[in-house]
Amino acid sequence: MITRRWYRRSGKEASCREVGQVLQSYLDGEVETEFTAKIEAHLEKCRDCGLERDTYQQIKSSLARQAPQVDSEAIDRLREFGEQLTSE
């Protein structure tokens, strides 16, 4: 989890630069939840940063769809291997 000093400034809105610095970590779920509201408030109001978010979110979503189908037979063989280890 990342933290940055600007999060802690009470009442002050995040700037485009500040949001840009943490945008990808925010999309990765690596920003502490107490600070996400500040980021989301900025993204709601700022069209440019909102587009930036959409851009990286599209890339992330596409990448997530590339996860290869897990070979269930391989997983079964590995589970059997584990059972053999614990039964010897």
**Which positions touch other proteins (CB under 8 A)?**
2, 24-25, 28-30, 51-52, 54-56, 58-60, 62-68, 70-71, 74-75, 77-79, 81-82, 85-86
Structure tokens at 84: 């053999």
Nearest distance in Å: CB 11, other proteins: 28
Contact 3, 32 (CB under 8 A): yes
Nearest distance in Å: CB 17, other proteins: 15
Q: How big is the CA angle at 82 (ends 77 and 87), to the nearest 5 degrees?
A: 120
Nearest distance in Å: CB 14, other proteins: 18
Nearer to other proteins, 11 or 29 (CB): 29
- Residue 68: φ, ψ to 5°: -65, 150
Contact 77, 51 (CB under 8 A): no
